[in-house]
Chains A and B, each alone.
Chain A
Amino acid sequence: MIEWFTWVEVGAALLAGLLCVALGLAGRMPGDLSVGATLAVELLLIAQLVITIVAPFVGNHPTGSLLEFYIYLVAALLIPPIAVVWALLQRDRWSTVILGVASLAIAVMAYRMHIIWTVQIA
């Protein structure tokens, strides 16, 4: 895995999450900024997927379980699009908070995935 990319992903998701939660609690409706931030997190996850597919072919193998990594990655990929649809069904301040919660969950999952990839199996 490309470690710096993981940290960019965790950092971006954390920032996007905190930003959207703050905007929502401040009473802001979902807008270009909050939806855009959520989509940016999704794009990073797609990039992560591409990296994950390519990595083993260039000699970058996980020490942990590749299957477990993929299961987490697929679950993570589903979250931002579902959250955007769910958030926009009813537009109010809570829609923006929902987008934030989704990105915060991605931050945690991306960190977990890093541990799964690099863990030393006994």
Chain B
Amino acid sequence: MSTTPSSPKSSRAVGVGRVLITVYAILAIGATSRSVFQIITEYSSAPLAITLSAVSSVVYILATVALILPGTFWYRVAWVTISFELAGVLIVGTLSLVRPDLFAHNSVWSYYGIGYLLIPLVLPVLGMLWLRRRAPGRSDA
């Protein structure tokens, strides 16, 4: 899998990383549209869950952008957003099991993302592995 290691453009949006970015983008679109609907129609009934949904969709958008854009700044943004996602899915996933009353409406992260085929749980791990392989300054992994 040696696709031009030190490409002048992006070292992350290459090879199988592009598939990863595709899944991120689809999740970002899915989470954002669901969140827009929840804010329009049912915000007052579950403000915590719905605010969380909105925050998570913004983070997915940011992570997608950070994976595409080159440079060390966006590399750091990618780490921060992807770590946030992993923490989010673990914390919210656990909370939705032990305190279901807090999550009357599902967010992307409820029940570890089961409504999204557990992709929200698996994706940050794959994202971190990819970031480690494509760290700036390293010739190639």
B-binding residues in A (CB < 8 A): 65, 67-68, 71-72, 74-75, 78-79, 82-83, 86-87, 90, 92, 94-95, 97-98, 101-102, 105, 108-109
B: interface residue count bin: 20 to 34
Q: How far is the CA of A101 from the CA of B15 in the complex (A)?
A: 15
What would 7 more interface pairs be, CB under 8 Å, given A101-B23, A101-B26, A105-B26? A65-B37, A67-B37, A71-B33, A90-B14, A94-B16, A102-B26, A108-B117
Closest residue of A by beta carbon distance from B15: A94
Is A94 in contact with B26, judged by CB distance below 8 angstroms? no
Is A79 in contact with B26, judged by CB distance below 8 angstroms? yes
The B10-39 residues at the A interface (CB cut-off 8 A) are 14-16, 18-19, 21-23, 25-26, 29-30, 32-34, 36-37
A78: which B residues are within 8 A, CB to CB?
29
How close is A32's CB to chain B, nearest CB, in angstroms? 21
B37: which A residues are within 8 A, CB to CB?
65, 67-68, 71
How close is A85's CB to chain B, nearest CB, in angstroms? 11
Q: How far is the CA of A101 from the CA of B41 in the complex (A)?
A: 30
Is A102 in contact with B22, judged by CB distance below 8 angstroms? yes
Q: How far is the CA of A65 from the CA of B38 in the complex (A)?
A: 12
B25: which A residues are within 8 A, CB to CB?
82, 86
B18: which A residues are within 8 A, CB to CB?
86-87, 90, 94-95, 98
Closest residue of B by beta carbon distance from A83: B22
Q: How far is the CA of A46 from the CA of B117 in the complex (A)?
A: 26
Q: How far is the CA of A105 from the CA of B117 in the complex (A)?
A: 11
- B139 proximal to A (CB < 8 A): no
Q: How far is the CA of A72 from the CA of B29 in the complex (A)?
A: 9
How close is A66's CB to chain B, nearest CB, in angstroms? 11
